[in-house]
Amino acid sequence: MRCQKTQLFVLFIALVNIFLFNTTISAQTSVNKTEIINGTDLTDTQGNIINAHGGGFLKVGKYYYWIGENRRKGVFVSCYRSTDLINWEFRGDLLTRQSHKELDKANIERPKVIYNERTRQFVMWMHYEYGPDYSYARAAIATSSDIEKPFSYLRSFRPFNNMSRDCNLYKDEDGIAYFYSSARENYDMIIYKLSDDYLDTKEQIATLWPGGHREAPALVKRGNYYFLLTSGCTGWAPNQAKYAYSKSIKGPWSELKLIGNSTTFDSQSTYILPVEGDKTTSYLYVGDRWDGKQYFNSKYIFLPLTFQSDSTMELRWVEKIRLSVKTGEIN
């Protein structure tokens, strides 16, 4: 009996040691990083793998927020924040299967968040599917007054009765916001102007490249030009991205121009992130290197987008990204 007690005590001490040792390991992983290594598992400040695919970014005060698809244990959308775009702290889950009854069998992709100054609400738009296939093809909306707190799911719908799959949001300098998504079985890319509260589509302002089969859209404005980057439609497999430019978001848009290499460096676009510093503004391409079979094995790709003229954009491969949010420089 006494011997058994001693054994139990030894086992207890061993477990305490294992716990302390693991804590040390995870503390070590939270050491400040200085770069993002492309195509590797990115971990947050706790040492856990970042789950924010098909995501977007938003600056609030001193923090950059990264919000994207999680897909683990009934979680749809997760939120991370960073002051340097390299070290990301997990801040919570914004949308889960439990958030609303319409989400019980849903599949949520490519969530994006913008802030509405008038209503003081953060507004999330996303691609909504119900069930295993992609036939619902709807947009969905959720809101929150706190970017780090769970969002309230509002509804899903087809904007102007159009199918709506891969999507994104763009908030212009004048506060007018746009939702744009792949429509008509991905044949067309449609841009919609949003209502003042950002909770509805108000006007269908452009139907781009009818029959062009584009998805994964990401829009940015630089100088006098808007740039719209898209991929072709090859499921989870990568293909070569193309971009177009225009002086007005309504168009006319240029024809599509090839960018990057034949697989966009084995990735698909999700966002173009301007890094505005006191020296310069740089632009980061953010893409997903999908693993469609083992979704959690998907990786992130951050690359510099550079401009050779006012309307010419280039994407090149780099192993690592180092940047300064203070100066805006990327190297």
Nearest residue (CB) to ligand DGJ, 54 versus 275:
54
Residue 113 class from Cβ within 10 Å (0-12 exposed, 13-18 middle, 19+ buried)? Answer: buried
For 237, the enclosing helix (H) or strand (E) is none
- Least Å distance, CB 146 to ligand DGJ, is 27
CB of 215 to ligand DGJ, least distance (A): 5
Nearer to ligand DGJ, 60 or 233 (CB): 233
What is the length of the chain?
A: 331
Contact criterion met (CB below 8 Å) for 282 and 328 = yes
- Asked whether position 129 contacts ligand DGJ by CB under 6 A, the answer is no
> Which residue, 132 or 235, is less far from ligand DGJ as judged by CB?
235
Q: For 169, which DSSP code?
A: E
Instruction: Answer for the pair 127, 166: CB distance below 8 angstroms, yes or no.
Output: yes
Burial environment of residue 271 by CB neighbours within 10 A (0 to 12, 13 to 18, 19 or more): buried
For residues 280-309, which are near ligand DGJ according to CB under 6 A? none
Contact between 217 and ligand DGJ by CB under 6 A: the answer reads no
Q: What are phi and psi of 29, to 5 degrees?
A: -70, -15
Q: Which is nearer to ligand DGJ, 259 or 275 (CB)?
A: 259
Residue 211, H or E segment: none
Q: Indicate whether 236 belongs to the interface with ligand DGJ (CB under 6 A).
A: yes
Among 54, 55, 68, 260, binds ligand DGJ (CB under 6 A): 54
Closest residue to ligand DGJ: CB criterion: 235
Please, what is the minimum distance in Å from the beta carbon of residue 129 to ligand DGJ? 9
Question: Which 254-273 residues touch ligand DGJ, going by CB under 6 A?
Answer: 268
Rounded CA-CA distance 113/111 in Å is: 7
Interface characters, 60-99, with ligand DGJ (x: CB under 6 A): ----------------------------------------
Rounded least distance, CB 269 to ligand DGJ, Å: 9
CA angle (254, 256, 260) in 5-degree steps: 130
Among 36, 194, 216, 305, binds ligand DGJ (CB under 6 A): 216
Q: Which is nearer to ligand DGJ, 11 or 237 (CB)?
A: 237
Site string for ligand DGJ, 147-176 (x = CB under 6 A): -------------------x----------
Out of 110, 112, 138, 289, the residue judged to bind ligand DGJ by CB under 6 A: 110
String of DSSP letters for 74-129: TEEEEEEEESSSSS-EEEEEEEEGGG-GGGTTEEEEEEEEEEETTTTEEEEEEEEE
Q: HSE, CB side, 13 Å, CA atoms: give it for residue 298.
A: 26
Where does this chain bind ligand DGJ (CB under 6 A)?
54, 109-110, 166, 215-216, 235-236, 268
